[in-house]
Amino acid sequence: MTTALHIYHSITRQKELFIPETPGFIGMYVCGPTVYNDVHLGNCRTFVSFDIIYRYLQTIGYQVRYVRNITDVGHLLDDGEDRMSKGARLEKKEPMEVAQKYTVGFHNMMRIFQTLPPSIEPRATGHIPEQIEMVETILKNGLAYIKNGSVYFDTQKYIDNKGDYGVLSGRKIDELLSETRDNLKNQSEKNHPADFAIWMKASDEHIMRWNSPWGIGFPGWHLECSAMSLKYLGEVFDIHGGGNDLKFPHHENEIAQNMGSCQCKGAKYWLHTNMLLLNGKKMSKSDGNTISPEQLFIGNSEHISKSYSPMVVKFFMLQCHYRSTLDLTDAALLAAEKGYKRLMEAYKWIQSVNHPGTKGDAGQDADIEALIEAAHLDMADDFNTPKALSRLFELVNKLNSLKDKHIGWDQISPATFENIKQVFSLFINDIFAVDSDVEGDLSGNQDKSLLDGLMNLIIQMRNDARLRKDWATADLIRDALKENKVELKDGKDGSSWQVTES
C-alpha cells in the first residue's frame, strides 16, 4: 500500500483520498442483480467494473470483504408489480424457482467473464427479520408511519430533523417526486409524494408475502441493501457501488434509511458506474436495440458482423473508464479484438523467452520503469483501466521492437525485463483477468463452430423424427430449444435456428 489511492465519490462529486475505516481492511457493498430475467450486458459491465476494483484493492494489499446481494423480492415495476412475481407469473413458476434459475445464469455469466465470487452474497428473502427490525427502529425513531398495513418512510420529518434527502442525487425533492417508482398504486396513502414504502401490505393475489407486526406484506426494495450492508459490513463501511441509474431513488433512500435507523451514514465513498449503450443509444428490449452476452459470443445478432469471445468483450469494457458511458458497436469490438490479440501475443512471447543476461541501457530501462510506475498510478487514480492499458501497450511496442530485433537485448537489463514480465502477469492475470482465451481461438470462432455442429445434429435428429411421423419427439426438441431461447424456423430449404431475446 505504497501508493495513495484516490476515488471519485459520488456525494462530493470529486476524487477523494481514500482512507479506509480500519487500516488494511475494506468493506465494499455492491447492489447485485434483480434475478427475474437473464443478466444483460449492461449489468455485466457494472459487475465486471467492480470485480476489477475488488481485485485491484487486493493486489495492493487490502483484505476486502466484498458483499454483493441478490435482489429476489421487493423490486417493483412502474405499475407496482413485484419483478419477481411478474417473472414467476410469466413463467408459471414459484418465485424462488425464478430466482434460482436466473441466479445460476448470473453466476455462470460472471464465471465466463472471469470475475471472482464476492465474499458474501446475501439474498433479500433470506433477511426478512433484519429488514423488519430496521422498519421497527425507523418507526421508533419517529421517521416512518403506518398506513393500511404498509409502512412509509417520512421524508419530510427526516428533512425537518436535518436529514439531507437528495445528498447523493444532488437534486431538490420536488424534482425527485415524479420519479418515485416504489408503488404508484399507493401514492394516495402517503403523507407526502416523496415518502417511500419500507414495508408494503401484500394484496391477496401477491405471491411473495411474510408475517410482520403490520400484517402480511413484503419489504420495500431499498430496505434490503441498508439491512444487509449493516449486518455484514457494520454501521460505517468503506465503499458502496452500483450503476448510476441506482443513485435515485435506490441509493438516496438507502442513505435515508441508514440515517433514520442507526443514525449512521453507511458507506464513506459512493461509486457509480456509467451505462452501456448500443450504437449510441440506450439498450432497450422494446425497440430492438439490445444484444445479449450469448448473442455476442456466438455472433448471432443483426448488430454485429461476427462472434466475439468473452475476453474480447471484457477487454472492450476495460478500454473505457467505469465512469464514462460505453458505446458498444461492431467497429469498436473489432478494434478491441485486434488490441486484445496484440496484447496477448506480446504476453505469450514474453513468457516464452529468457533474457540472455546482457547489460541494459540506462535510458531505455528508465523509460520502461516509468511506464510500469505510471500503470500503477493510473489504477490508483480512480481505477483508470484505459490509461493503465495504454501503458501496457507502450510496453508491447517495446517488446515487439525487441522481438523483431529493431532493438537489441543490450537495450534492456535482465531486471527490467523481469519487471515487464511481472507487470504483464499482474495486470493480465490478477487485476484485469483477461487471460483465459489465450489457449483458444481468440475470435471465439471455435465455440461458434462447436455450437453450429451441435445445432446441426439436433436439427437432423428432429428431421429424422418428423420423417418417422414421431411428432411428439419433434415437438419435444423444438420446445426444449425454445426453453433455451433457441427458435427453429422450418423453411423449404430445411430448418434454421436463431437465439431469441425472451
Q: Which does 225 bind (CB under 5 to 8 A by kind): Zn ion, ligand AMP, none?
A: Zn ion
For the chain, the C-alpha Rg in angstroms (whole number) is 26
Contact stretch for Zn ion (CB under 5 A) within 217-225, 283-291, 437-445, 473-481? 217-225
CA-to-CA dists, residue 442 to 342, 344, 453, angstroms: 11, 9, 19
Q: How far is CA 390 from its chain centroid?
A: 23
If contact means CB under 5 to 8 A according to the sort of partner, which of ligand AMP, Zn ion, none does residue 416 touch? none
Q: Which three cell numbers stand for residue 120?
A: 458474501
Percentage helix, strand, coil, to 5, in the chain?
50, 15, 35
Q: Identify whether the C-beta of residue 166 lies closer than 8 Å to the C-beta of residue 252.
A: yes
Q: Is residue 276 a contact residue for ligand AMP (CB under 6 A)?
A: yes
Q: According to CB under 6 A, which residues from 71 to 130 bind ligand AMP?
A: 71
Backbone angles phi, psi at 305, to 5 degrees: -90, -15
> Rule CB under 6 A: is residue 46 a binding residue for ligand AMP?
yes
Residues of this chain, 19-38, that bind ligand AMP according to CB under 6 A = 31, 33-34
Residues contacting residue 278 through CB under 8 Å, at least 6 positions apart = 289, 290, 291, 303, 327, 328, 329
Residues 344-403 that bind ligand AMP (CB under 6 A): none
Report if residue 273 touches ligand AMP, rule: CB under 6 A: yes
83 contacts 75 by C-beta, under 8 angstroms: yes
- x/- mask, ligand AMP, residues 399-428, rule CB under 6 A, reads ------------------------------
* Sign of the CA dihedral with 341 first, then 345, 351, and 352 last: positive
Please name the residue that has the C-alpha cell 487514480: 381
Sheet bearing 326-328, strands edge to edge: 281-282, 276-278, 326-328
Partner touching 243 among Zn ion, ligand AMP, none, CB below 5 to 8 Å by kind: ligand AMP
Among 9, 45, 222, 391, interactor with ligand AMP by CB under 6 A: 45
Task: Name the minimum Å distance from CB 81 to ligand AMP.
Answer: 15
Nearer to ligand AMP, 37 or 261 (CB): 37
Q: Between 140 and 282, name the residue whose CB sits nearer to ligand AMP.
A: 282
Q: Alpha-carbon distance 477 to 197, whole Å? A: 46
Nearest to 79 by CA among 89, 70, 91: 89
Under the binding rule (CB under 5 A), the answer on residue 30 touching Zn ion is no
Task: Tell me which DSSP letter residue 93 carries.
Answer: S
Site for Zn ion in 412-471 (CB under 5 A): none
| Piece of 120-128, 145-153, 224-232, 458-466 that binds Zn ion (CB under 5 A) | 224-232
- Which listed option, Zn ion, ligand AMP, none, makes contact with residue 245 (CB within 5 to 8 Å by class)? ligand AMP
* Binding partner of residue 34 among Zn ion, ligand AMP, none, CB cut-off 5 to 8 Å per kind: ligand AMP
Distance CA 255, CA 269 (A): 12
398 neighbors 416 (Cβ within 8 angstroms): no
Q: Does 253 bind ligand AMP (CB under 6 A)?
A: no
Binding residues for Zn ion, total number by CB under 5 A: 2
Nearer to ligand AMP, 274 or 411 (CB): 274
One DSSP character per residue, 45-81 reads: HHHHHHHHHHHHHHHTT-EEEEEE-BB-S--B-TTS-
Sheet with 217-219: list strands edge to edge. 144-147, 150-153, 196-201, 217-219
Q: How far is the CB of 258 from Zn ion (least distance, A)?
A: 12
Interface residues for ligand AMP in 53-72 (CB under 6 A)?
71
Picked from ligand AMP, Zn ion, none, the partner binding residue 42 (CB below 5 to 8 A depending on kind) is ligand AMP
42 scored as a contact of ligand AMP (CB under 6 A): yes
Residue 180 as a binder of ligand AMP (CB under 6 A): the answer is no
Which residue in 43, 257, 258, 261 binds ligand AMP (CB under 6 A)? Answer: 43
CB of 242 to Zn ion, least distance (A): 6
Instruction: Pick the stretch among 39-47, 134-142, 446-454, 494-502 that binds ligand AMP (CB under 6 A).
Output: 39-47
Nearest approach, Cβ of residue 267 and ligand AMP (Å): 14
Does position 309 bind ligand AMP by CB under 6 A?
no
Tell me if 220 contacts ligand AMP by CB under 6 A.
no
Element (H, E) at 101: helix 95-112
Give the x-and-dash track for 231-250 against ligand AMP (CB under 6 A).
-----------xx-xx----
Site stretch for Zn ion (CB under 5 A), options 205-213, 218-226, 301-309, 337-345? 218-226
- List of residues 6+ apart from 159 with CB closer than 8 A: 165, 173
Residues 407-445 as b or e (16 or more Cβ within 10 Å = b): bebebbbeebbebbbebbebbbeebbbbbbbeeeebbbb
Q: How far is CA 364 from CA 392, 395, 409, in A?
A: 16, 11, 11
276 binds, among Zn ion, ligand AMP, none (CB under 5 to 8 A by kind): ligand AMP
Strands 236-243 and 25-30: parallel
Binding residues for ligand AMP, rule: CB under 6 A, are 31, 33-34, 42-43, 45-46, 71, 242-243, 245-246, 273, 275-276, 283
Under the rule (CB under 5 A), what is the footprint of Zn ion? 31, 225
